[in-house]
Amino acid sequence: MGGFEGHLFPGLSLFLYGLYHAVLLSRALICNSPVQYPPSRPWSKGRWARLQQMYYIGFLKILSSCVLVAQELNSIHWQLVLITKKHHLRNFMYRKQWQHLTLYVSFFLSGCADVVSQNLLPKRCAVLEQGAQALSMYLFLPLMVSHMQDTEGVELQTHMLLIQAMFLLTLVGTVELWAPNVLLIWVLKAFLYIVTGSWLIQIGFMLYKPISGYKWMDDDKNDVAFATTFFCWHVASGAFLVILAYGFSFLWHHYLGADV
């Protein structure tokens, strides 16, 4: 996730995924149905019936992972090697790029698990989908800890806050394996996905394209302090978006006469 695009695209994917979960739990709550299996329209008959049965979120995760992998490889001109030999020594190359690719592949496998669990064995394989999500989070944490090597100041502070959000998201994903249909777990998961995604986008702007036009200074204590303040604003905004998603779903269902 190096560079501005490397923070923007993954952050946007996580943010939209969090919004999707917020709408999903809102629909289940409004319709008084299990959160894990919200009501959906019956499958129609005809040529496009099979296409309508597909779990499009899983396919979007697969597609976004492929785009992220292509963007990462393009940043190093598609010359990805693991070990190179220089002066009779074997050195590991592109350590950060390999970390990024490992993370993207985990999200790709998570999307595959979504498609399999929803299309082949929807209810019996739900644990596969949740387990894949939890596994991707478990991979994310050590990669991010290693990713903070040789960082300081604002960059170090922003990534520490990101790890904090990811750690909580990992705990929620783990608890979900034993309590898959608890409303509070889904609320926390949607909220943490939104916060993690929005903060990852914020990191990209702060480090590479600051809105003010002035670079954030690592040796300025005010800049480091304001990074924490901005993270708190993202936390409050994430909670507001979850509430807003429920309010919009409620109005859409009760006053517009539409299926949620």
Contact assessment for residue 126 and residue 69, using Cβ atoms and an 8 Å cutoff: no
Percent of the chain with pLDDT over 90: 18
pLDDT tens per residue, range 178-204? 877 788 888 999 999 999 999 999 999
Q: Is residue 84 part of a domain?
A: yes
Q: Is residue 214 part of a domain?
A: yes
Q: In whole angstroms, what is the distance from residue 44 CA to residue 46 CA?
A: 7
Contact assessment for residue 151 and residue 159, using Cβ atoms and an 8 Å cutoff: yes
pLDDT for 137 equals: 82
CA dihedral (12, 15, 20, 23) in degrees, to 10, reads: -140
Query: Which residue range(s) make up the domain with 20?
Result: 3-254
* Burial (Cβ within 10 Å: 0-12, 13-18, ≥19) of residue 244: middle
Q: Is residue 21 part of a domain?
A: yes
Q: Which residues contact 229 (CB under 8 A, 6 or more apart)?
A: none
Kindly calculate the radius of gyration of the chain based on its CA atoms and give it in whole angstroms.
20
pLDDT for 126 equals: 61
Q: Count up the domains in the chain and report the number.
A: 1
Q: In whole angstroms, what is the distance from residue 40 CA to residue 58 CA?
A: 16
Q: Is residue 53 part of a domain?
A: yes
Asked whether the predicted pLDDT for residue 105 surpasses 80, the reply is yes
Q: Is residue 260 part of a domain?
A: no
Q: Is residue 259 part of a domain?
A: no
Q: Is residue 134 part of a domain?
A: yes
Q: Is residue 121 part of a domain?
A: yes
